[in-house]
Amino acid sequence: MNAAESLLQTALDAGVEVCFANPGTTEMPLVAALDRFRGVRAVLGLFEGVCTGAADGYGRMADRPAMTLLHLGPGFANGIANLHNARRARTPIVNVIGDHTTGHVRYDAPLTSDIESLARPVSGWVRTNTSPETLAADFAAAVAASRRPPGQVASLVVPVDCQWGPGTPPAPATAPTRGAANEERVQAAALRLREARRPALLLGGRALRAGALKEAARVAEVAGASLLSETFPARHERGAGLPNTTRLPYFPEQARELLATHDALVLVDARDPVAFFGYPETPSRLRPEAVPVVALCADSDDPADALALLADALDARKLPADASVLPPAPADGPIDPGSLGAILARAQPEGAVVMDEGATSGLAYGLSADAAPPHTVLSLTGGAIGQGLPVATGAAIACPDRKVIALQADGSGLYTVQALWTQARESLDVTTVICANRKYRILQVELARAGVAEPGPKAIGLTELTNPSIDWVSLGRGFGVPSARVETNRALAEELVAAMADPGPRLIEAVL
């Protein structure tokens, strides 16, 4: 047994069963060792952003880490954007980054770089392994760090000679679990809710899982509180039978206006909300100072437990299941974001996992899907676009029995379009719906907000995806995914019904 094998045995023992990889020469001992561990699945991404995004999607759905296997600083760097999103989602991920032999680094060979400087901004835990004897223990420490509540990205740099050196027994990876609720915080929240006239609960993180949502709805009913949810939650259980929440609006003036209608805010696994971007004359903090805030739980508490205690403290009753109805969907005509959302909400099967990186084209879907069959929505947590196709890929590997739907803005989808090939190779049950408005629509909105009423040809050129337009059907086929273009609501509905009935990857380019 060499050290690479000790690392993989450690992984297997710790329940790390998937390795999203784009390896190179400095990872060959780990590549060779993978064949000796049937329990660790190796999934190739054609670009590292696919691997890190897939690890994020896997971790969000499996609630345990996948590992990535990446090639020195530049290979890791290609994965940073999606690790940034994973950091914001608090997803457990273990990155293993190969490096030159310990003796070779000082010669500053072409691929040498400061890997730790690149890794730190997206990792809660970073370490460089220095000997084969400590590799299993270092990897176990990385796994434990990734699982430390609420979850984080852990990055381990491993010189290639430390991989091929002598092995050791595997090391155990132990991490604390989420703690029970803090009674004092619960009582403080109960007091605040009793005193307030128009309170709101802002739910985020694990408070958007089914169990916590139901407790939150009990609290809201007895306290006369609104149920708000984070703008971009990592994972939100939604649909028929689950309480609806009002999503905090993206633009700060709208969010602030909404929050100003309340006289108390109870945060439940959510941060005191801040604007996505800063603007002149707009405060960064969205909550007006006059609105007092309390946090129901610390980062590592179990919010479902805290909400249940809070409901009991308020003598809340058990609630009947929510009875939303699906909005009507147009039978035909040109597709717009509203019709797309309504049609998708009607087509999606029970248990679907919807990765929503629809950007401006995806907003309407969220409203339409309140009454869709129970499903899970994953959103773009960190604003680093190019998350959707990779996260859908990883979610499909975590949940092979659930249909995964990527609601994908066209501009964002082009960042990591290589994910389609991994979906084809692994025969993943992912339907990608490209919202093809052929522009970075949000940037045109932001130009207008910045006072540019009539953008010039360069500003238009930098925000439109035309001349030429992208042919997504060709791109999908190029990567081996059956693909179709639709330009009417009728055709969209038909293609979606076919895709939902047929397991395996599909791409639908919906021209808006």
Residue 132 CB, nearest distance to a second copy (Å)?
Answer: 12
Q: Say which residues have a Cβ less than 8 Å from residue 60's Cβ, sequence separation at least 6.
A: 89, 91, 234, 235, 378, 391, 395, 398
**Among residues 447, 473, 483, which one has the least CA distance to residue 462?**
447
Judged by CB under 8 A, does residue 117 bind a second copy? yes
Alpha-carbon span 481 to 208, nearest angstrom? 32
**Member of 175, 299, 312, 477 binding a second copy (CB under 8 A):** 477
Determine if 258 is a binding residue for a second copy (CB under 8 A): no
Contact between 120 and a second copy per CB under 8 A: yes
User: 96 by DSSP, 3-state: which?
Assistant: strand
| Cβ neighbours of residue 427 closer than 8 Å, sequence gap 6 or more | 504, 505
Query: Could you say whether residue 438 binds a second copy (CB under 8 A)?
Result: no
Residue 281 makes contact with a second copy by CB under 8 A = no
Distance, C-alpha 57 to centroid of its chain: 6
At 14 the three-state DSSP class reads coil
Residues 339-398 that bind a second copy (CB under 8 A): 381-384, 386
DSSP annotation of 38: T
Identity of the residue, 79 or 199, whose beta carbon is nearer to a second copy in the bound complex: 79
Question: Which residue stretch of 143-151, 279-287, 294-302, 366-374 sits at the interface with a second copy (rule: CB under 8 A)?
Answer: 279-287
Token look-up 């086929």 returns: 477
Q: Are 164 and 99 in contact (CB under 8 A)?
A: no
Return the range that interacts with a second copy (CB under 8 A); candidates 136-144, 169-177, 215-223, 447-455: 447-455
Work out how close the CB of 511 gets to a second copy at its nearest, in angstroms, rounded to a whole number.
15
User: Counting contacts by CB under 8 A, is residue 236 touching a second copy?
Assistant: no
Stretch that binds a second copy, among 293-301, 401-409, 475-483, 493-501 (CB under 8 A): 475-483
Q: Is 131 in the site for a second copy (CB under 8 A)?
A: no
Q: How far is the CB of 273 from a second copy (least distance, A)?
A: 10
Indicate which single residue of 470, 484, 493, 508 sits in contact with a second copy (rule: CB under 8 A).
Answer: 470
Among 84, 185, 375, 506, binds a second copy (CB under 8 A): 84
Residues 6+ apart with CB under 8 A from 138: 127, 129, 156, 158
Distances (CA, A) of 71 to 76, 193, 247, 420, 439: 6, 52, 39, 21, 33
Sheet with 375-379: strands ordered across: 236-238, 375-379, 353-357, 404-409, 430-436, 506-511, 483-486
Q: Which stretch binds a second copy (CB under 8 A): 100-108, 209-217, 319-327, 359-367?
A: 100-108
Q: Give the tokens for residue 462.
A: 């930098």
- Contact characters 150-179, a second copy, x per CB under 8 A: ----------xx--x---------------
Q: By CB under 8 A, is residue 289 in contact with a second copy? A: no
| Structural tokens at position 76 | 């890791």
Residue 58 CA to residue 459 CA, distance in Å, equals: 38
Q: How far is the CB of 78 from a second copy (least distance, A)?
A: 5
Q: Is the dihedral of CA 440, 445, 449, 453 positive or negative?
A: positive
For residue 318, state whether it binds a second copy (rule: CB under 8 A).
Answer: no
Residue 97 sits in the site that holds a second copy (CB under 8 A):
no
Name which position in 131, 244, 276, 298 contacts a second copy (CB under 8 A): 276
| 20: contact with a second copy by CB under 8 A | no
Question: What is the distance between the alpha carbons of residues 66 and 423, in angstroms, rounded to a whole number?
Answer: 17
User: Which residues, 404 to 423, sit near a second copy by CB under 8 A?
Assistant: 411, 414-415, 417-418, 421
Distance of closest approach, residue 345 Cβ to a second copy, in angstroms: 26
Q: Name which of 275 and 491 has its Cβ closer to a second copy.
A: 275
Q: Which of 1, 13, 74, 253 binds a second copy (CB under 8 A)?
A: 74
Residue selected from 471, 482, 494, 504 as contacting a second copy according to rule CB under 8 A: 471
Distance of CA 230 to the CA centre of its chain: 13
